[in-house]
Amino acid sequence: MSIELILTTRIPSPAQEMLEQEYVCHKLYEAQDRDAFVRSVATRIRGIATFAQGGVSAALIDALPKLEIISHYGDGTEKLDLAAAKKRGVVVANVVGLVENCVADTVMALMLNVMRRYPQADAFVRSGKWTAPNTFPPATSLGGKTVGILGLGGIGSAVAKRAVSFGMHIRYHNRKRKDLEYPYDPDVVTLAANSDVLVLAVPGGPRTEKLVNAEVLDALGPKGYVINTARGSVIDEPVLIRYLQERKIAGAGLDTFENEPRIDRRFLELDNVVLYPHVGTYSIETRSAMAHRQLENLRRHFSGLPVVNRVV
């Protein structure tokens, strides 16, 4: 008998196609009456496959009496009710360990784009304004600048490695100090004060919500830049917009937003911010690896083997 899953949201290609080839997939995200939909399949569901904002609530877990596993196509788990899963004995697996390099590349791209103003340079040429040498204004170099990394885990460490190759200096703040060569700052405000570029590489969730606030941005100062590929919730967005408008910080590079994809329209009016549509892991190679890992976690669980990346 085929194993049946609930998909809480559309999962990027090729992951969803791979899941549908192997399992019976019920698409919760297409249901007009979600509660009725869940009731109609509840007794047959053994797994949930999810991604990004799809999430898994305690109510959904409680409604599925045969649920065994939640396989998440992503790293961050703040949209999954881990406590409810643990209480029920439901396995939760993600794809940690596959996205670090791709996200770190995105951090460096944002850094280059906002500091060196490459998008503006491209637009300058396309608009026909390049009529004589040296007419595009100079921008800010990366070399010699200090990068403060908030969260020196897998992604933060990959960023540090790349930034060093650009001739940048590294500082960091974690909840716990690590035995590393990089200078450690005891809090976010001190890290910002000691940095030219503040890179956010922490998980989302209540613990980090609006961690980057006015006090942090004041410490970063009018020559400082903030780069966020973590979660939009980590920054106080209205404060960030005001500081960008008033040039209280030099600029920002953002891949994540508080209410994505419906971002605050005021961002679009600013010339000192670079905006990406949450593409930190969007390379063909990384997405393929994520798809295979999500499927592998399901296969292993239903074969009686431990999953590769167990969260709960």
* Whole-number pLDDT of residue 255: 99
Q: What is the pLDDT of residue 134?
A: 83
- pLDDT tens sequence for the chain (312 residues): 799 999 999 999 999 999 999 999 999 999 999 999 999 999 999 999 999 888 999 999 999 999 999 999 999 999 999 999 999 999 999 999 999 999 999 999 999 999 999 999 999 999 999 999 889 999 999 999 999 999 999 999 999 999 999 999 999 999 999 999 999 999 999 999 999 999 999 999 999 999 999 999 999 999 999 999 999 999 999 999 999 999 999 999 999 999 999 999 999 999 999 999 999 999 999 999 999 999 999 999 999 999 999 999
pLDDT of 1 reads 73
Give the list of residues 6+ apart from residue 25 with CB closer than 8 angstroms, or none.
4, 5, 6, 7, 16, 19, 49
- Domain residue ranges in the chain: 4-98+285-302, 100-275
How far apart CA 137 and CA 37 sit, in angstroms, is 58
| pLDDT score, position 151 | 98
Annotated catalytic residue within 117, 173, 231, 301: 231
CATH architecture observed for domain 100-275: 3-Layer(aba) Sandwich (3.40)
What's residue 56's pLDDT? 98
HSE of 288, CA atoms in CB hemisphere, 13 A: 3
Whether the Cβ atoms of residue 41 and residue 47 lie closer than 8 Å to each other:
no
Is-above-0.75 flag for pTM?
yes
CATH of the domain spanning 4-98+285-302, picked from 2.90.10.10, 3.40.50.720, 3.40.640.10, 3.40.190.10: 3.40.50.720
Q: How far apart are CA 91 and CA 111, in angstroms?
A: 37
Catalytic residue among 72, 117, 171, 278: 278
Asked if the domains 4-98+285-302 and 100-275 are classified in one and the same CATH topology, the answer is yes
Clarify whether 231 is annotated catalytic.
yes
Out of 260, 296, 299, 300, pick the active-site residue: 260
pLDDT of residue 15: 97
